[in-house]
Amino acid sequence: MSHSLELNDIRDAQEIWSFASSSLLQEGAGEKLKSFALKGESANVSGLPDPAKSFVIASLLDQVGGRACVLVPDEARARALQEELSAWIDPDDILTFHGRELLLMEARAANRDVELERAAVLTRVLEKGYRTLIVPADAALQRLRTPGTFHSFAIHLRSGQQIEPDRLEAELIFCGYERATQVECPGQYARRGDIIDIWAPSAVRGDMEACRISFFDIEIDELKALDAETQRSTKMLKSVVLPPAREFPLLKDEWEKMAQQVQDEVNRQVWEARKSGLAEEIVERLLRSGSRDVERFLEHMYFPAFDRWTSLIESSASTVLDYVTSDHTLFFIDEPLNFSRRLDAAHAGFAARLSNYLERGEAFKIAENSQLAPPDVWRAIDQRGSYLALIDLPMSGNGLPGAENLSFHARLADKYKNNPKKLAHDITAVDKKKGAVLLYTGSDDRAEQLSLYLAEQGALFGGHFAPSLAARFCLFRTVHFCFGDRRLIWDKP
């Protein structure tokens, strides 16, 4: 095996990582996989336990460049993948488009945290401000505005820009922001004379950073980051992009149109309910609920059950997959069979919930179009034609039809939680064979502690340790990857 970088030449964590990723993709199945990625061809890649999948994704990004979109079966896998990828990719560059339960029945209030986060993620994706996007199966089913329409609601501001404060305030309201005396949560803005504070939705959960805009007449004089908790400015900013504060924002001419369309739909379903002999109580409930929604549209008011009318607002069947451009993007699907099952389960759960609401007169039948069907998602995947399926154990149906099959040999090995002596023993054994070890810990402090301990045990006999990556690297045909208390062994063919 030939390498462009020798162990003694390694200087920092990035070089360690580049060495590891190039080693994986330099020969055999790895070389073929890199070729498929460069050509935009599909492949079924088997023999990959979950930690190995994250290493493959990160390696391809490092060697091929661009961004990645990864479809995963569920939220648990999304969280695990995000955690594993953060060993190689800046966590701020890893986005997850979480699924959310669509609100289809009348409600007084609803928690909007996930909706706001999703709006921020969609904006980051359209602005190409990410390296990896993770999409669980249920999120891939949900209908969205077309990318162009949604992107038109993003507000771009920069220091020195000329815009009247009143106009900016009007744009914020148009994009779904709510005025408050002091910003206390994402989706709010506050104005005091020539100063406007805005707490925009963030793609990072728990982000407390808002922004403060100071005007001199109609010019943005200062643009600062604002700690929303202390209400103090923290640093100067050159520019900001404010996502809309709604996942399904409406254009100015759509409110009245929607009021009429909703009224027509309410009348139709009420007529059908009476014709089918439903109890008058249920019919009246439908009529009251629908009439309230019509009034809200006429008043340009967003409301909790807005989700049930989204198919009237946007006839195009757009999903998050339409937001990801094909240029310089690698597409992955984690365990296609599991992904397919989760698609079916999510759709069945949605249909069952809606059916219960319909029986009680608490929802409208058109709400069934607020979510796409699994075949729609698979058609979008087929049309893209360039997915890499990441598979642990190959089996019937667990792959992409017609795609080339590639096989790696990686396996999970011993756990090291509360057993540092075992870790030292195994690293020493690999070193004696002139092997390769990548050791990932939870923090730089933990990396330093392990470095000292392993040195005391003689397990790092002149190797290289980079605390910022929490990695130590040397050469061998079998590579051991240690993620916290898990160990992955990669046998190169």
pLDDT in tens, 22-70: 878 888 899 999 999 999 999 999 999 888 899 899 999 999 999 999 9
| Under 8 Å between Cβ of 371 and 102 | yes
Cα angle value 93/440/3 (rounded, 5°): 85
Q: Which two tokens stand for residue 314?
A: 């946007």
Query: How are beta strands 478-483 and 486-491 bridged, if at all?
Result: antiparallel
DSSP lists the bridge partners of residue 210 as 226
CA 244 to each of CA 122, 150, 175, 321: distance values in angstroms, whole numbers, following the listed order:
10, 8, 5, 19
Place of tokens 């505005």: 145
pLDDT one-digit tens code per residue, 40-53: 999 999 999 888 89
**Residue 200's closest CA among 163, 162, 239, 167?**
239
**Rounded Cα distance, 174 and 154, in Å:** 11
DSSP 376-439: HHHHHHHHH--EEEE-SS--TT-S-TTPEEEE--EEE----TT-HHHHHHHHHHHHHTT-EEEE
**Rounded Cα distance, 238 and 225, in Å:** 10
Burial class (CB in 10 A: 0-12, 13-18, 19+), 383: exposed
Q: What is the DSSP letter of 162?
A: B
Place of tokens 């369309």: 261
| Under 8 Å between Cβ of 20 and 472 | no
Q: What are phi and psi of 488, to 5 degrees?
A: -115, 130
**Rounded Cα distance, 385 and 160, in Å:** 45
**Rounded Cα distance, 192 and 60, in Å:** 49
| Under 8 Å between Cβ of 443 and 80 | no
Q: What is the DSSP letter of 278?
A: -
pLDDT at 437: 66
pLDDT at 483: 42
pLDDT one-digit tens code per residue, 352-408: 999 999 999 999 999 999 999 999 999 999 988 889 999 999 888 899 998 999 998
| Under 8 Å between Cβ of 98 and 114 | yes
**Residue 464's closest CA among 62, 1, 3, 14?**
14
Contacting residues for 347 by C-beta, under 8 A, at least 6 apart: 141, 371, 373, 374
pLDDT at 27: 82
Please name the amino acid found at residue 400. L
Q: At 473, is the secondary structure helix, strand, or coil?
A: strand
Q: What is the dihedral of CA 330, 334, 340, 346, to 10 degrees?
A: -100
Q: Extract the residue ranges of the chain whose pLDDT is less than 50.
A: 1-11, 461-487, 489, 491-493
Contacting residues for 141 by C-beta, under 8 A, at least 6 apart: 99, 319, 343, 346, 347, 350, 371, 372, 373, 374, 376, 377
Q: Which two tokens stand for residue 474?
A: 């040397």
Q: What is the side-by-side strand order in the sheet with 188-192? A: 178-179, 188-192, 195-199, 209-216, 219-227, 232-236
User: CB-side exposure of 354: number of CA atoms within 13 Å?
Assistant: 21
| Under 8 Å between Cβ of 363 and 308 | yes
| Under 8 Å between Cβ of 116 and 175 | no
pLDDT at 5: 42
**Rounded Cα distance, 485 and 127, in Å:** 37
Helix H or strand E encompassing 115:
helix 113-126
DSSP 289-307: HHHHHHHHHHTT---GGGG
* Residue 228 C-alpha from the chain's centroid: 24
